[in-house]
Amino acid sequence: MTGNTPTPPADAPAGGVRTLDDLPIREELRGQSPYGAPQLDVPVRLNTNENPHPLPPELVARIAERVAGAARDLNRYPDRDAVELRAALADYLGRTCGLSLGTDRVWAANGSNEVLQQLLQAFGGPGRTALGFEPSYSMHALLARGTGTGWVSGPRDAGDFTIDLPAAERAIAEHRPHVVFVCSPNNPTGTAVAAETVLALHDAAQRARSGPGEHGALVIVDEAYGEFSHRPSLLPLIEGRPRLVISRTMSKAFGAAGLRLGYLAAHPAVVDAVQLVRLPYHLSAVTQATALAALEHTDTLLGYVEQLKAERDRLVAELRAIGCEVTDSDANFVQFGRFDGPGGAHAAWRFLLEQGVLVRDNGVPGRLRVTTGTPEENDAFLDAVRELMKENDR
């Protein structure tokens, strides 16, 4: 009888729940923070590795045309297997990366993060382990944790942030991971990985899991920034190596961060495996139409990439001239420092923010990361760094 039911105090939590920690959340997620960069309204935002160039008007018009066509059939589910899009992606990879692929060797999803998540759902999970070489893209560890996969942090050289191959091979032999992540160019350091290093890591991972009843290890090369590299793509390495996967995105080089389209290239059996865990109709008809339109304008968009590469190299040269330590970069961003004074890198980040320039503090001791912007944005950033260095000299 409701009339006799006592009313709880207004400040009493429903069911005793005040915070996330009061919920029956999985233990490996308890106390963790979600991925994300500060979204602040400042004049110069160079903290999320976006392409600063808006899509050209002719591409915007083509997107509108293709999306209008897709809209006529939005009462129906989209192509579940995105065959036309995968064929276009295979053609793009063949033209730009030097390896001809069939549609059966390409898969697409909502951003490369979903691609990586699907790979971990298929090849990781409870009782299995993934290994990456940190500092690197923090989503690798977060996705591992989210799929119940154990995570091991492998070593990098403390000076130039390259992968220390002997130490990496020892870590693989010790931990025997089921999945190995190699990020090239690496985020946040910008360093590329030599093909010989990738092959050595791949072979070490296979040896580590070559016992009775085992099937080797999956090695994932995350090439989200591949188009910006001074080096050729590592895509040709997958030939003859069915456990080697290349992951890519349209967010960076294609200037389509808002599209959320990632893809992988691998052996057809890997594509079959991720289809076991993908959600039904996971790529909307609008996403597929937009991505197809962007792929029609590859030459124009890659022209913007060449401009950004030149600006990236200018940032490296000018930051060094100012007196900063700069990590060699093959990406569309630059890691710089070294800020070891009071407050460290975060104090330097705060100073630049006060000058109206937002960069990224990734937690790498003494260092920050800046995205390559337009020439005008880069000039404003460099001016702010000059002021920062003057302040540090006082």
C-alpha radius of gyration, the chain, whole number = 23
| Separation between Cα atoms, residue 388 and residue 338, nearest integer Å | 12
pLDDT-derived band of residue 10, with 50, 70 and 90 as boundaries?
A: low
Asked if the model's pLDDT at residue 14 lies above 70, the reply is: no
pTM for the model stands at 0.93
Rounded Cα–Cα distance for residues 394 and 34 (Å) = 38
CATH numbers and ranges of domains, the chain: 44-55+300-393 (3.90.1150.10), 57-296 (3.40.640.10)
The token duo for 276 is: 């076991």
Residues 83 and 127: their CA atoms lie apart, in Å, by 34
DSSP state of 360: B
- pLDDT tens for 253-282 read 999 999 999 999 999 999 999 999 999 999
- Residue pLDDT, tens place only, 112-154: 999 999 999 999 999 999 999 999 999 999 999 999 999 999 9
Angle, helix 57-71 to helix 285-295, in steps of 10 degrees: 150
Mean pLDDT of 160-168: 96
How far is residue 337's CA from residue 110's CA, in Å, rounded to a whole number?
Answer: 34
